[in-house]
Chains A and B, each alone.
Chain A
Amino acid sequence: MTLTTFIAWICAAITFGTIIMFGSVGEILTEKSGNLNLGVPGIMYLGAIASLAGAFFYENGNPAPVPWVGAFISLVCALVASLLGGLIYSFLTVTLRANQNVTGLTLTIFGGGVANFFGGSLVKLSGGVGQISVGTTSSAVRAQIPFLSTALGPISTLLFSYGFLAYLAVVIALIAHWVLNKTRVGLNLRAVGENPATADAAGINVTKYKYVTTCIGAMIEGLGGMYYVMDYVKGTWDAGGGLEALGWLAVALVIFTSWKPKNAIWGAYLFGFCYWIYLYIPSSLSAALAKMLGAANVTHMQNLYRMIPYIVTIIVLIIVSKRKRRENQNPASLGISYFREER
């Protein structure tokens, strides 16, 4: 394997990892407030379709769309749509105390429905023909840092060849880590997630904390959707349901990181690295394995290689659970709606 191939692999891993990093950092915050939101795929879908729709209407309405304006509109739309998703979830689970799992799963169905419906028929509904595509906005979202992205050769490719959202993901993860562990707000939030009754008695507004964190978490998840649609699939709509699978991986990554945003950074990249491994396994090895398993075509082996990230996750999970560590557990009240008068 040459250095160039290896760097290409790492770049692919970082691009892939960024999507699930947004999703999992958002969900870590949400879960820290005691809300188990299984609606992550749905919220990412909402963010994705809103960013695409916003950019689409902007580019359609303007004869000469300005790239950065498109990107800005797209960003705002993604944030607003995913905020709405978070609000639906918070209203149902916090105010109406609905079951969190069912609400989350319903949000996933709803978000997926909204996104695929409009993703598939937005062009038709607005009277045009063909596939949706927002090249101008996507190019702005994917714009690399000038000079730095080429000046240092391979190092530039490795570190500076991504759109701004990839760096934002890391910054958000670090901020989330800082807020959770070093601030009063973070302390209160953890108290709400661990024991809402005690937090309530200490004068912390449990409802407010749950609402605000869930909504902020949802907006971060929505950015993951935007990154997927604008950067990963370059401003078109992927009707294959790929984003839903990534949303579930983001939920999985939360447990993998043991609820620490800092771990989400390397966890997401590592997962991305394992995800693309199937493209980089030497063909001689594939041929030998294919012969052993009776597969006619060597490319069939890729189906099995694609299991690797999931199997690695399972193995890590088992090892972590064997060394029972208290600080690696989920927030104690996770999944339970809080009602003050119920003791």
Chain B
Amino acid sequence: MKKNQFEKPHDSIKEPLVHIIKREDVPAWEAWGIRIVAVVLGMMVCALFIQGITDLNPFKVFGSMFNGALGSSSRIWQTLKDMALLLCISLGLAPSFKMRFWNVGAEGQILIGGLVSAALMIRFGNSMPSGILLMIMAGVSILAGAIWGLIPAYFKSRYNTNETLFTLMMNYVALQLVEFFVDIWDKKQSHSVGVINSSTKGGWMPYLFKQQFFLMVLIVAVLTIGMYFYLKQSKQGYEIAVVGESENTARYAGINVAKVIRRTVAISAGICGFAGFLEVSSVSHTISSLTAGGRGFTAIIVAWLGKFNPFAMTLISALLTFMSRGANQIASDFNFNKHASSILTGIILFFILGSEFFINYKLVFRKHGKEAA
């Protein structure tokens, strides 16, 4: 018997197996619970990976990782130092990214800040009181970073020049400048400046409580709180948010968009330049093309994942630094190369990125019973 094709119109419409719905108002505990589950799952994949290439007991490897990152007081300080540097750069990037200004030029801004710091150390390290010299170095490195950011920002605000490409190219220009000056300052033709002022310690950040990095960590902590209030509470922070949401809205509200762009990028790049100063003055006491070391890119991840909230960014930089220092320890304990840390960091980040989906969306499966009724 011929079936009436109009009898059951629903039969021809295929309902998808899963259906995605946007979730609003996810409680904070649930959101953090999902993220923690993601990190744990990521760790498990990391363990599988480690076991796959080395046949080692993953728990032993994680023990070694923990030991490497937090195993002794000096290791804790090394971890804190790395974390402070990464966080400082991400704090710098947060305002510009919140404004949707793609500052991928942090590497260059760090290098330029570090370069002028090193130049001042070499020139005045033995003739100026260290305190005054440090102040000048900090100020000039902020200025240098800000200028390095202002060049693309000016063209962005004037001609809407693509800032991603511009800031990226500025990285390489800064890199070559550093290489140029390293060769000029280097007297031994070894293509390295060596430790600057190793005898007089001119321009070195002073030790506080016998700790090399105490002052630096303290400065970054203050900066973190300052940036939180700047973005959340100040008028400028609000203007950044409005320009980031929509330039037209900002213009309609009477905000001078060009001015906000330049000011924000100057602040942003200035902090990155300051991070270069911290690296040179407090950590390495030298300058090379490796001074920025890819942190300028990692910091973008920190700023985005932390949704520009300085406290969330602190947590993420802590996690990433723990991973990388821990993985370096595994590398030296079990004798394989240090790039394993990037693989592990990548895996964990993939899981955190994927977990955001389950915080923002809900999966609804097809209900068979209801359809049949």
Contacts and interface: CB of A to CB of B under 8 A. Distances in A.
B166 interface: yes
Of B53, B102, B166, B170, most A-chain CB atoms within 10 Å: B166
B38 to A, nearest CB: 11
A294 B184 contact: yes
A271 to B, nearest CB: 11
A92 B342 contact: no
A33 interface: no
Interface stretch (A147-155, A211-219, A260-268, A296-304): A296-304
Interface stretch (A7-15, A51-59, A109-117): A109-117
Contacts of A245: 172
B161 interface: yes
B337 A97 contact: no
Interface in A220-276: 245, 248, 251-252, 255-256
Interface stretch (B109-117, B132-140, B229-237, B345-353): B345-353
Interface string A100-124: 0111011111111111110011001
Contacts of A307: 172-173, 176-177
A102 B305 contact: yes
B346 A106 contact: yes
A168 interface: no
A interface majority secondary structure: helix
Nearest to B172: A310
B165 A110 contact: no
B74 to A, nearest CB: 26
Interface residues of A, number: 54
Contacts of B172: 245, 307, 310
B337 A102 contact: no
A188 to B, nearest CB: 21
Nearest to B304: A102
B159 A318 contact: yes
A208 interface: no
A277 B155 CA distance: 27
Contacts of B162: 255, 317, 321
Given A102-B300, A117-B343, A96 B353 contact: yes
A107 B354 CA distance: 13
Contacts of B169: 252, 310-311, 313-314, 317
B164 interface: yes
Contact of B350 (A106, A121, A124): A106
A341 interface: yes
B207 interface: no
Nearest to A124: B336
Nearest to B54: A125
Given A113-B339, A113-B340, A321-B155, A101 B350 contact: no
Given A107-B346, A310-B172, A255 B164 contact: yes
A117 B331 CA distance: 10
Interface in B140-165: 155, 159-162, 164-165
Contacts of A107: 346
Given A251-B168, A303-B176, A121 B336 contact: yes
Interface in B164-206: 164-166, 168-170, 172-173, 176-177, 179-180, 183-184, 189
Contacts of A317: 161-162, 165-166, 169
Nearest to B21: A341
B353 A98 contact: yes
A112 B354 contact: no
Given A295-B184, A313-B165, A339-B22, A120 B337 contact: yes
A103 B20 CA distance: 21
Contact of A99 (B21, B102, B176, B304): B304
B62 interface: no
A97 B357 contact: yes
A117 B337 contact: yes
Nearest to A101: B304
Contacts of A92: 350, 353-354
A105 B300 contact: yes
A86 to B, nearest CB: 14
Interface in A281-314: 294-297, 300, 303-304, 306-307, 310-311, 313-314
B180 A304 contact: yes
B53 A114 contact: no
B53 to A, nearest CB: 7
A306 B176 contact: yes
A106 B155 contact: no
A124 B349 CA distance: 28
B46 to A, nearest CB: 12
Interface of A: 88, 92, 95-99, 101-103, 105-117, 120-121, 124-125, 245, 248, 251-252, 255-256, 294-297, 300, 303-304, 306-307, 310-311, 313-314, 317-318, 321-322, 324, 339, 341-342
17 contacts: A98-B353, A101-B304, A102-B304, A105-B297, A109-B345, A113-B342, A113-B343, A114-B342, A116-B342, A120-B337, A297-B189, A300-B183, A303-B177, A303-B180, A310-B170, A317-B162, A317-B165
Interface of B: 20-22, 53, 102, 155, 159-162, 164-166, 168-170, 172-173, 176-177, 179-180, 183-184, 189, 294, 297-298, 300-301, 304-305, 336-337, 339-347, 349-350, 353-354, 356-357, 360-361
Shortest beta-carbon contacts, A-B, top 8? A113-B342, A110-B346, A303-B180, A96-B357, A116-B339, A113-B343, A321-B161, A98-B353
Given A102-B304, A110-B342, A113-B339, 11 more contacts: A97-B357, A102-B349, A105-B300, A110-B349, A113-B346, A294-B184, A295-B180, A310-B173, A311-B173, A314-B173, A321-B160
